[in-house]
Structure 1
Amino acid sequence: MRYILAFAGSNSSVSINYQLVKYTSSLINGHEVRLRDMANYPFPMYSEDVEKESGFSNSLVEFKNEIRNAIGLIISVNEHNSYPSAYFKNVIDWLSRLDSQFLVDKKILLMSTSNGGRGAKGALEDAEKMLTRFKGEVVETFSLSKYGENFDEEKGITNSDFAKIHADKVASFVKSISLI
């Protein structure tokens, strides 16, 4: 059975973007969702020297295969100084070196959240450009601003306006992968 792979672009053990991905995954019905905590995937900083000396780690190859075998992806990117984190960029760098076609025809629900008023929209926009460059299809995007005010780890999105928008985006994403 094909599945949806869900993860955050953060390797923090207290990632709010992981919490958003986890919550979003709990809303998916009719599809298996494999949730990955990227804090368990410590990839070295990409460089040609490291690639030549060490090649590709087993965990990178396994992660790439999980992406390839998924029917769709749910990703939430964190923001550092208005851009996706160095960790997320590094993961994309490694994956693209291993297989430049790693996202071909992959349907993606791309999200972001932060405690600020923009909800990591800068990172979201840049991540969308990165993912589509490798032929991923970003079906929907969602940004949750003021995470601390609008999200509860037990209840999920507490702001009714954001909750409605999020639910609509999730439904649209699920519909897009159901057509495959």
Structure 2
Amino acid sequence: MATILAFAGSNSSTSINFQWVKHTVLLIEGHKIQLLDMANFPFPMYSADYEKEHGHSDALIALKDDIAKADGLIISVNEHNSNPSAYFKNLIDWLSRTERKFLNEKPILLMSTSGGKRGGAGALEVTKNLLPRFGAEIVATFPLPSFHENLVGTKGVVDPELAKAHAAALKRFLAKL
């Protein structure tokens, strides 16, 4: 049984990316899931001056330790103007200051969603290229377009082709654990 750490790149209390992560982990059996709501993890904007004066918060060290203990990660990044949110970039900046290769060859299922037809594809692509710099192994990616039309309550992903592609991405990720 592997331990999977799952979270969204959003700190919004109404994050659809967090809803997408919660749906995805419900599909996993036989593994321990640690689901983090990043709305509970406020971090100041990174600056070298702030870091010098205040160091690293207990919450940041706990998150780094949770990442280190996990066998794999599921992350869904949100998109602001075709890029990951400032919150997510800031989180990566802080984590990289605790240890450059903080992802330490962790297998990652990288996802995104949005209300639009591209499903956060811009943020997904940027993040896919960014995380390996910190040691990540991106095993699979999946953008879910038009979140409100395609993920419906307990029915899950209603479009059969999208459901099949999501299941395949999840299967590739789980096979790497």
Identify the TM-score tier after normalising by the shorter chain. Answer: over 0.9
Q: 1:52-131 maps to which residues of 2 (within 5 A)? A: 52-131=52-131
Matches of 2:75 and 2:35 in 1, distance apart?
Answer: 10
Code of the residue aligned with 2:49 in structure 1: it is D
Shift in Å, 1:154: 2.7
Contact 2:101 2:133 in 1 (8 A): no
- The count of aligned residue pairs is 177
Unaligned stretches of 5+ in structure 1? none
Shift in Å, 1:30: 1.4
Deviations 1:102-128 (A, max 9, x none): 111100000000011111100000011
CA RMSD in angstroms, aligned pairs only: 0.9
Q: 1:5-44 maps to which residues of 2 (within 5 A)? A: 5-44=5-44
Shift in Å, 1:137: 0.1
Shift in Å, 1:148: 1.1
Identity of aligned residues (%): 57
Code of the residue aligned with 1:112 in structure 2: it is S
Shift in Å, 1:2: 4.6
User: Is 1:49 matched up with 2:27?
Assistant: no
Matches of 1:138 and 1:14 in 2, distance apart?
Answer: 26
The TM-score, its normalising length taken from structure 1, stands at 0.96
The residue number in structure 2 matching 1:174 is 174
Contact 1:19 1:153 in 2 (8 A): no
Matches of 1:31 and 1:139 in 2, distance apart?
Answer: 17
Contact 2:114 2:146 in 1 (8 A): yes
Matches of 1:144 and 1:19 in 2, distance apart?
Answer: 12
Matches of 2:27 and 2:149 in 1, distance apart?
Answer: 21
Unaligned stretches of 5+ in structure 2? none
- Aligned-partner SS, 2:171: helix
Code of the residue aligned with 1:110 in structure 2: it is L
Shift in Å, 1:152: 1.7
